[in-house]
Structures are given as structure tokens and as C-alpha cells.
A = this chain, B = another copy of it.
Amino acid sequence: MSAYDSDPAVQKVREDVARLHGELTRYGLVIWTGGNVSGRVPGTDLFVIKPSGVSYDDLAPDNMILCTLDGAVVPGSLGSERSPSSDTAAHAYVYRNMPDVGGVVHTHSTYAVAWAARGEEIPCVITGMADEFGGPIPIGPFAIIGDESIGEGIVKTLTGHRSRAVLMQNHGPFTIGVDAKDAVKAAVMVEDVARTVHIAREAGPLIPIPQDKIDSLFNRYQNVYGQSSDARR
């Protein structure tokens, strides 16, 4: 048991994170136990993440895992008998170094990984991409699991960048957002954009969108779109 187990703010993030994994399967972004969503507990130095190697059918608020910002499981907390996602260190690094980030998502979604395997950023040639990402989707460095290099690569690439998505070379997309839902939306949109631009380019040259139009679309979408209480979600 942990005192956090009865904290309504922690419980809310557990519920959000568990439920939002369902969006990854709905859009076909993950297979088997791959992929993971995490969410920061607002006002604390904690975040909630998926357990490692557990089937999507079996995810529930109570088996989500509560971690500190150095990636350690909170001892005795709900779900702490399991190991957290093997990508936990990368999520933790992002939360420590990007204080405005409230959610992180990682998948191996097909088309995003395809761009990553070529190390090629996705050019901004469709208005929906200008709306959502404000320009190209950048490539992050090649980095393998086991130390802080994945987290460093994400933070270095996305800091100061409009895009909430980075394609880690030969690996796949990581996305960030103001909360877990926003990061999941970015994961859904980056695969859509990766697929559409891939298919478009198979058949001939693409028409660029002038930079001032991209700027104008991005600014409108960040400020106007959606219901006022739920901007960019």
C-alpha cells in the first residue's frame, strides 16, 4: 500500500492512461504488448505508465504503474509488483527536462517507423499536418535502450520545435503533449500524416505549402479549433 493509492489526482491519471491505450489499438498503432502511454500527475513529481509486456486486453487503472521522475516505481503503490514499461527511463527523462509536458506516448506504428528507418523527416505538404504539427516531423538520433540516450534524443529534438512528434531513427515515434490525451492524439496524427505523405509521394512530386500559409494554419489551429475548454485535444 501507498498513500498515493487513495489520491484522487493519481487515480484520475491511472484511469486516463489505462483508457487511452485503447486509442492505440483502435487506430492500429500497436500490436501484441508493444507501445506505451504515460501521464504526469499534475502538481507532483510523479507519472503513471503502462506495465511491461502485459496484454492490451488486461490493462486497467489498478495495474498502471506509478513512478517518480527518475523512473523508479513508487514502492508499495498499486501495480508495483509488476515492472513498468521498458521505455520508462525515456518517459522519465522527458518529464524531468520538459516541465510543460504532461503526457508521453511511444509506438512502433507502421508508416512512422518506415520514415524512421530511412532517417527522413516528413515534409509538411498537407494542411492537416500544418494544423497539427506546424511543419515537418523531425528525425531524432539513433539511440538504443539501456541508458538515457533515447530520452536525451527526444528532448534535444523537440525542445523549441513546433512538432509534438519525433521519429527516433530506426526505431519509431515518440510524442508529447500537455497531457496524456494530447500526446495520444499526436501519436494518432503522426501515423496518419506518415501514411498519407508516403502514399502521396509514391505517385509523383508533391506541391509544397508556402511557409506563411503553414504558419497561419498552425496558429489558427492552436488557438481556435475545438471547444474552448478543450483546445488541441
Contact = CB atoms under 8 A, between A and B. Distances in A.
Chain multiplicity (copies): 4
Interface stretch (A2-10, A38-46, A88-96, A106-114): A106-114
Interface stretch (A67-75, A121-129, A156-164): A121-129
A203 interface: yes
Q: State which size class the interface on A falls in.
A: 35 or more
A107 to B, nearest CB: 10
Nearest to A52: B226
A98 interface: no
Given A53-B225, A216-B146, A114 B203 contact: yes
Given A53-B227, A127-B171, A170-B207, 10 more contacts: A31-B188, A31-B192, A51-B227, A53-B230, A83-B226, A86-B225, A110-B196, A117-B126, A117-B200, A120-B204
